[in-house]
Amino acid sequence: MFTSLTLLVLAGLLGPLLAAGRRPLAPVLVGELIAGAVLGRTWLHLIVPTSQPFPAFSAIGFAMLMLEAGNEVDLGSKELRGGAARGAIALLIVLAVSLPVGLAVGASFPTGNSALLVVLLAGSSAAVAFPTIRERGLTGPAIAILITWITLADALTAVLMPLTLSAASRIPLALLGDGLIIAVAAASIMLARRMFRTSLADEVKRESKHRHWALQLRLSVVLLLALAAIAERTGASMLVAGFAAGIVLRQFNEPNRLAQQLTGLASGFFVPAFFVLLGASLDLSALVHSPSAIGLAMTMAIGATAVHVVASLVAGKEPRLPAGLLASAQLGLPAAAAALGLASGALGPAVAAALVAGGVLTLIPASAGAILLATKPAGAATAATPVQ
């Protein structure tokens, strides 16, 4: 077991190696996917994702990936409130445009699940966009709209995507589970706000810091696992569980210690493990030898970019085009769709690989959009406080 785990961790290091330097060769996740593909099903077969304990690591890694995305969402931010109306309109436009585009793509490249394509086209990635906005100090009306838009898109598609891969008879229970996850998350916020204001809570935090108990990290993991357990029991979305846990944790201003601890736990092991194991489960040879799958990957990337640019042009504010490009970034959603589809047998190897490849390709226009936003007056850094 430890030999396989060592290989898994070493494979994850390819991501930072390719992403290092002033001119990175590829995003971190792409390097991790490549390493998994080389060591897994595509080539060497040294990593078998179905062997224990890999399924558990993969599930926890995906939940933590979505926790990181949810942790980028600050429900109390001025940017989120300021862009609420136009952000909601932008999402509605994306959904309206994604429907015919997704159906057309499904008709052109038969996958057996056009509804899944519609949801994927409408998705955005807070895990990609929000760190980019923060690192570049982007502000302005266009950014406020973008923050609301991506937050709503992430939340909605997290609920809808797993339903497109579920049997019709399971959908009511899954929706009930999603509702229960949201209710527990909301109750956790209210309860924690009351408890954390007491002198006892302050004393416990001081003691935890002084004696290295990491109680806040432990409670964070308990929350994530509890919400994930609800998802597991009811067939609800693990995306919703992780995303909700991240939003809860963001409400309590612990930007330094807890954020560093979560980053170490998630980005240091579990999230890279998820992407390596996902890469190991993909059959890239099926993608390479299937012109239809290659066409699907390219069409999904182009389609996702197009629908987001259209929505930004209609509902956004200047600079509209760069904002739409950044909003088109995909990360967790296509990866989750591939993982769920392969596990359930709902997606074939070539289609699953194509969806992941399409998601990776959207990072190209998203990166271009971020660069353009940083050079535009409306998107440049100002004296205003950047997104926290």
Q: What whole-number distance in Å separates Cα of residue 187 and Cα of residue 38? A: 44
27: alpha, beta or left? (left if phi > 0; alpha if psi -120 to 50): beta
Residues contacting 313, CB < 8 A, separation 6+: 320, 321, 324
Asked, for residue 38, whether it belongs to a domain, the answer is: no
What pLDDT is recorded for position 157?
A: 92
Asked, for residue 386, whether it belongs to a domain, the answer is: no
Number of residues written out for the chain = 388
Asked, for residue 385, whether it belongs to a domain, the answer is: no
CA nearest neighbour of 121 among 105, 103, 100, 98: 98
Task: Output the furthest CA–CA distance in the chain (Å, rounded).
Answer: 64
The three-state secondary structure class of 14 is helix
Question: Do residues 29 and 15 lie in contact, with contact meaning Cβ atoms separated by under 8 Å?
Answer: yes
112: alpha, beta or left? (left if phi > 0; alpha if psi -120 to 50): left
| Per-residue model confidence as pLDDT tens digits over 266-288 | 889 999 999 999 999 998 898 99
| Per-residue model confidence as pLDDT tens digits over 286-335 | 899 999 999 999 999 999 999 999 999 999 888 999 999 999 998 789 98
Asked, for residue 183, whether it belongs to a domain, the answer is: yes
Q: Which domain holds residue 295?
A: 54-375
Domain count, the chain: 1
Asked, for residue 380, whether it belongs to a domain, the answer is: no
Question: Do residues 120 and 334 lie in contact, with contact meaning Cβ atoms separated by under 8 Å?
Answer: yes
Q: What whole-number distance in Å separates Cα of residue 232 and Cα of residue 309? A: 36
Asked, for residue 13, whether it belongs to a domain, the answer is: no
**Cis peptide upstream of residue 386 (ω within 30 degrees of 0):** no
- What's CA 291's distance to the chain center, in Å? 28
CATH number of domain containing 337: 1.20.1530.20
What pLDDT is recorded for position 39?
A: 94
At position 256, the amino acid (one-letter code) is N
Q: What whole-number distance in Å separates Cα of residue 18 and Cα of residue 213? A: 35
What pLDDT is recorded for position 254?
A: 57
Q: Give the CA radius of gyration of the chain.
A: 20
Asked, for residue 144, whether it belongs to a domain, the answer is: yes
Q: What whole-number distance in Å separates Cα of residue 38 and Cα of residue 7? A: 12
What count of other Cβ atoms lies within 10 Å of the Cβ of residue 260?
Answer: 12
Mean pLDDT by runs of 10 across the 388 residues of the chain is 91 91 81 92 90 91 87 78 87 96 93 92 87 81 90 90 88 93 94 84 85 88 95 89 90 69 87 93 90 95 97 91 93 88 89 94 92 70 39
Question: Do residues 213 and 207 lie in contact, with contact meaning Cβ atoms separated by under 8 Å?
Answer: yes
What pLDDT is recorded for position 383?
A: 37
Asked, for residue 24, whether it belongs to a domain, the answer is: no
Burial class (CB in 10 A: 0-12, 13-18, 19+), 264: exposed
CA nearest neighbour of 79 among 312, 289, 337, 385: 385
User: Residue 274 is encoded by which pair of tokens?
Assistant: 């998820």
C-alpha distances (whole Å) from 360 to each of 101, 122, 292, 302, 353 are 19, 15, 18, 12, 11
